[in-house]
Protein backbone atom coordinates (compact mmCIF):
# COMPACT_ATOMS: atom_id res chain seq x y z
CA UNK A 1 0.00 0.00 0.00
CA UNK A 2 1.44 3.37 -1.06
CA UNK A 3 1.59 6.10 1.59
CA UNK A 4 1.13 9.46 -0.12
CA UNK A 5 1.45 13.08 0.96
CA UNK A 6 0.90 16.08 -1.29
CA UNK A 7 1.81 19.38 0.36
CA UNK A 8 1.99 22.98 -0.88
CA UNK A 9 2.92 26.37 0.51
CA UNK A 10 -0.41 28.21 0.66
CA UNK A 11 -3.70 26.96 2.07
CA UNK A 12 -5.70 28.47 -0.79
CA UNK A 13 -7.69 25.92 -2.81
CA UNK A 14 -6.71 25.63 -6.46
CA UNK A 15 -8.05 23.39 -9.20
CA UNK A 16 -4.62 22.08 -10.33
CA UNK A 17 -3.48 20.99 -6.86
CA UNK A 18 -6.76 19.37 -5.79
CA UNK A 19 -7.06 17.68 -9.17
CA UNK A 20 -3.52 16.35 -8.78
CA UNK A 21 -4.47 14.87 -5.39
CA UNK A 22 -7.62 13.34 -6.84
CA UNK A 23 -5.67 11.65 -9.63
CA UNK A 24 -3.09 10.37 -7.12
CA UNK A 25 -5.82 8.22 -5.56
CA UNK A 26 -6.13 6.18 -8.74
CA UNK A 27 -9.93 6.33 -8.40
CA UNK A 28 -12.24 7.48 -11.20
CA UNK A 29 -14.34 9.64 -8.85
CA UNK A 30 -12.72 9.65 -5.41
CA UNK A 31 -14.28 10.64 -2.11
CA UNK A 32 -12.46 13.87 -1.31
CA UNK A 33 -12.62 15.31 2.20
CA UNK A 34 -11.72 18.80 3.40
CA UNK A 35 -10.81 19.27 7.08
CA UNK A 36 -11.09 23.02 7.90
CA UNK A 37 -10.31 22.79 11.64
CA UNK A 38 -7.42 25.28 11.52
CA UNK A 39 -9.65 28.08 10.20
CA UNK A 40 -12.40 27.41 12.73
CA UNK A 41 -14.41 25.91 9.86
CA UNK A 42 -14.67 29.23 8.06
CA UNK A 43 -17.70 29.05 5.76
CA UNK A 44 -16.14 31.03 2.90
CA UNK A 45 -13.20 28.62 2.94
CA UNK A 46 -15.57 25.65 2.84
CA UNK A 47 -17.50 27.25 -0.04
CA UNK A 48 -14.23 27.68 -1.93
CA UNK A 49 -13.53 23.97 -1.52
CA UNK A 50 -16.91 23.04 -2.95
CA UNK A 51 -16.40 25.48 -5.82
CA UNK A 52 -13.07 23.89 -6.77
CA UNK A 53 -14.48 20.38 -6.41
CA UNK A 54 -17.31 21.26 -8.82
CA UNK A 55 -14.62 21.68 -11.48
CA UNK A 56 -12.96 18.29 -10.96
CA UNK A 57 -14.26 14.72 -10.87
CA UNK A 58 -14.61 14.09 -7.13
CA UNK A 59 -17.28 13.54 -4.47
CA UNK A 60 -16.68 16.34 -1.93
CA UNK A 61 -17.03 15.96 1.84
CA UNK A 62 -16.26 18.24 4.79
CA UNK A 63 -15.30 16.89 8.21
CA UNK A 64 -16.49 19.07 11.09
CA UNK A 65 -15.14 18.78 14.62
CA UNK A 66 -17.98 20.86 16.09
CA UNK A 67 -20.48 18.03 16.45
CA UNK A 68 -22.48 16.23 19.13
CA UNK A 69 -23.17 12.55 19.67
CA UNK A 70 -26.95 12.98 19.20
CA UNK A 71 -26.57 14.12 15.59
CA UNK A 72 -23.44 12.27 14.46
CA UNK A 73 -23.34 8.52 14.92
CA UNK A 74 -20.23 7.75 12.86
CA UNK A 75 -16.84 8.12 14.54
CA UNK A 76 -14.16 10.33 13.00
CA UNK A 77 -12.20 7.14 12.29
CA UNK A 78 -15.12 5.65 10.34
CA UNK A 79 -15.61 8.82 8.29
CA UNK A 80 -11.91 9.23 7.47
CA UNK A 81 -11.48 5.58 6.45
CA UNK A 82 -14.20 6.01 3.80
CA UNK A 83 -12.21 8.74 2.04
CA UNK A 84 -9.77 8.40 -0.85
CA UNK A 85 -8.10 11.78 -0.31
CA UNK A 86 -8.02 14.28 2.54
CA UNK A 87 -6.98 17.91 2.23
CA UNK A 88 -6.28 19.95 5.36
CA UNK A 89 -6.81 23.70 5.29
CA UNK A 90 -4.73 26.60 6.54
CA UNK A 91 -5.12 28.55 9.76
CA UNK A 92 -3.94 28.00 13.31
CA UNK A 93 -1.78 24.85 13.31
CA UNK A 94 -1.37 24.67 17.09
CA UNK A 95 -5.10 24.84 17.83
CA UNK A 96 -5.92 22.37 15.07
CA UNK A 97 -3.49 19.75 16.36
CA UNK A 98 -4.73 20.16 19.93
CA UNK A 99 -8.32 19.52 18.83
CA UNK A 100 -7.31 16.56 16.69
CA UNK A 101 -5.42 14.97 19.57
CA UNK A 102 -8.37 15.43 21.94
CA UNK A 103 -10.72 13.85 19.38
CA UNK A 104 -8.37 11.07 18.21
CA UNK A 105 -8.37 12.50 14.69
CA UNK A 106 -4.56 12.41 14.55
CA UNK A 107 -4.62 8.65 15.07
CA UNK A 108 -7.45 8.20 12.57
CA UNK A 109 -5.47 10.14 9.96
CA UNK A 110 -2.33 8.07 10.57
CA UNK A 111 -4.30 4.83 10.17
CA UNK A 112 -5.85 6.10 6.93
CA UNK A 113 -2.46 7.25 5.63
CA UNK A 114 -1.02 3.79 6.27
CA UNK A 115 -4.02 2.31 4.43
CA UNK A 116 -3.41 4.33 1.27
CA UNK A 117 -5.61 7.40 1.71
CA UNK A 118 -3.86 10.36 0.04
CA UNK A 119 -3.17 13.16 2.55
CA UNK A 120 -2.28 16.77 1.87
CA UNK A 121 -2.89 20.47 2.18
CA UNK A 122 -1.19 23.83 2.43
CA UNK A 123 0.01 26.16 5.17
CA UNK A 124 -1.21 24.56 8.43
CA UNK A 125 -2.38 21.76 6.16
CA UNK A 126 1.17 21.08 5.02
CA UNK A 127 3.03 21.79 8.25
CA UNK A 128 1.00 19.33 10.34
CA UNK A 129 2.40 16.22 8.62
CA UNK A 130 6.07 16.97 9.46
CA UNK A 131 8.03 16.69 12.70
CA UNK A 132 8.09 20.47 13.27
CA UNK A 133 8.24 23.90 11.68
CA UNK A 134 7.58 27.56 12.22
CA UNK A 135 4.04 28.78 12.81
CA UNK A 136 2.12 32.00 13.41
CA UNK A 137 -0.23 30.15 15.77
CA UNK A 138 1.01 31.95 18.89
CA UNK A 139 0.97 35.68 19.72
CA UNK A 140 3.77 38.14 18.95
CA UNK A 141 6.15 36.16 16.71
CA UNK A 142 6.68 33.06 14.62
CA UNK A 143 7.49 30.07 16.82
CA UNK A 144 8.14 26.36 16.50
CA UNK A 145 5.27 23.87 16.56
CA UNK A 146 5.58 20.08 16.66
CA UNK A 147 3.76 18.13 13.96
CA UNK A 148 2.41 14.58 13.63
CA UNK A 149 5.66 13.21 12.15
CA UNK A 150 4.17 11.32 9.23
CA UNK A 151 7.34 12.56 7.57
CA UNK A 152 10.26 12.93 9.98
CA UNK A 153 11.57 16.16 8.49
CA UNK A 154 10.86 19.82 9.22
CA UNK A 155 8.77 22.04 6.96
CA UNK A 156 8.32 25.68 6.02
CA UNK A 157 5.25 26.87 4.06
CA UNK A 158 4.84 30.40 2.62
CA UNK A 159 8.55 30.33 1.75
CA UNK A 160 8.39 33.16 -0.78
CA UNK A 161 5.42 35.21 0.42
CA UNK A 162 6.26 36.02 4.05
CA UNK A 163 9.65 37.72 4.38
CA UNK A 164 10.51 36.35 7.83
CA UNK A 165 9.83 32.70 6.98
CA UNK A 166 12.91 31.88 4.92
CA UNK A 167 15.66 33.41 7.14
CA UNK A 168 14.03 32.04 10.30
CA UNK A 169 13.80 28.56 8.79
CA UNK A 170 17.49 28.73 7.81
CA UNK A 171 18.52 29.89 11.28
CA UNK A 172 16.49 27.20 13.02
CA UNK A 173 18.09 24.47 10.92
CA UNK A 174 21.58 25.88 11.39
CA UNK A 175 21.09 26.08 15.17
CA UNK A 176 19.66 22.57 15.39
CA UNK A 177 16.23 23.72 16.59
CA UNK A 178 14.79 22.12 13.47
CA UNK A 179 15.95 19.13 11.47
CA UNK A 180 16.64 19.29 7.75
CA UNK A 181 13.44 19.58 5.79
CA UNK A 182 11.34 20.85 2.93
CA UNK A 183 10.14 24.34 2.06
CA UNK A 184 7.43 25.32 -0.42
CA UNK A 185 6.68 28.61 -2.08
CA UNK A 186 2.97 29.41 -1.99
CA UNK A 187 2.17 28.00 -5.42
CA UNK A 188 4.53 25.03 -5.40
CA UNK A 189 3.94 21.50 -4.13
CA UNK A 190 5.79 18.29 -3.32
CA UNK A 191 4.37 14.79 -3.75
CA UNK A 192 5.86 12.22 -1.38
CA UNK A 193 5.39 8.48 -1.80
CA UNK A 194 6.42 6.29 1.13
CA UNK A 195 8.10 9.32 2.74
CA UNK A 196 10.35 9.96 -0.28
CA UNK A 197 10.09 12.81 -2.79
CA UNK A 198 8.27 11.52 -5.86
CA UNK A 199 7.97 14.80 -7.74
CA UNK A 200 7.43 18.52 -7.38
CA UNK A 201 4.80 20.49 -9.26
CA UNK A 202 4.14 24.22 -9.45
CA UNK A 203 1.56 26.65 -10.81
CA UNK A 204 4.26 28.82 -12.41
CA UNK A 205 8.03 29.05 -12.88
CA UNK A 206 8.44 31.64 -10.11
CA UNK A 207 7.29 29.27 -7.35
CA UNK A 208 9.43 26.28 -6.40
CA UNK A 209 10.08 23.80 -3.60
CA UNK A 210 13.34 23.14 -1.77
CA UNK A 211 15.21 20.68 0.40
CA UNK A 212 17.08 22.60 3.10
CA UNK A 213 19.88 21.03 5.15
CA UNK A 214 23.29 21.60 6.73
CA UNK A 215 26.49 20.19 5.25
CA UNK A 216 29.89 20.83 6.82
CA UNK A 217 28.39 23.63 8.88
CA UNK A 218 26.92 25.40 5.86
CA UNK A 219 23.24 25.86 5.07
CA UNK A 220 22.32 24.30 1.73
CA UNK A 221 19.09 25.18 -0.08
CA UNK A 222 18.59 22.65 -2.87
CA UNK A 223 15.81 23.39 -5.35
CA UNK A 224 13.56 20.51 -6.30
CA UNK A 225 12.81 21.10 -9.97
CA UNK A 226 9.08 21.54 -10.38
CA UNK A 227 6.86 20.74 -13.36
CA UNK A 228 4.31 23.44 -14.16
CA UNK A 229 0.72 22.16 -14.07
CA UNK A 230 -2.56 23.91 -14.85
3-state helix, strand, coil in the chain (%, to 5): 30, 30, 40
Farthest CA pair distance, the chain: 59
CA distances from 71 to 38, 40, 66, 74, 144 (A): 23, 20, 11, 9, 37
| Catalytic residue (one of 13, 126, 154, 158) | 158
Nearest to 184 by CA among 139, 229, 124, 113: 124
Q: DSSP secondary structure string, 58-73?
A: -EEEE--S---TTT--
Task: Look at phi and psi of residue 8 and say left if phi exceeds 0, alpha if psi is from -120 to 50, else beta.
Answer: beta
Q: Determine the Cα–Cα distance for residues 101 and 106; give it in Å rounded to an integer.
A: 6
In the chain, which residue ranges form alpha helices assigned H by DSSP? 15-24, 43-53, 76-81, 93-103, 105-114, 124-127, 165-175
| Catalytic residue (one of 10, 39, 123, 154) | 123
* Coil, helix or strand at residue 159: coil
61 is catalytic: no
200 is catalytic: no
Q: Which positions are catalytic?
A: 123, 158
Amino acid sequence: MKRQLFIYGSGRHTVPFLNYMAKATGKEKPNFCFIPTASGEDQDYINSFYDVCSQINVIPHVLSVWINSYDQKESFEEIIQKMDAIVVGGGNTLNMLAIWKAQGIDTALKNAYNNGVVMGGGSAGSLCWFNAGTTDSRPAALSIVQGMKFLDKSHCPHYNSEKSRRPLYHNNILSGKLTDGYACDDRSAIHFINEKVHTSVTLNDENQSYYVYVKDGELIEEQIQGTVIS
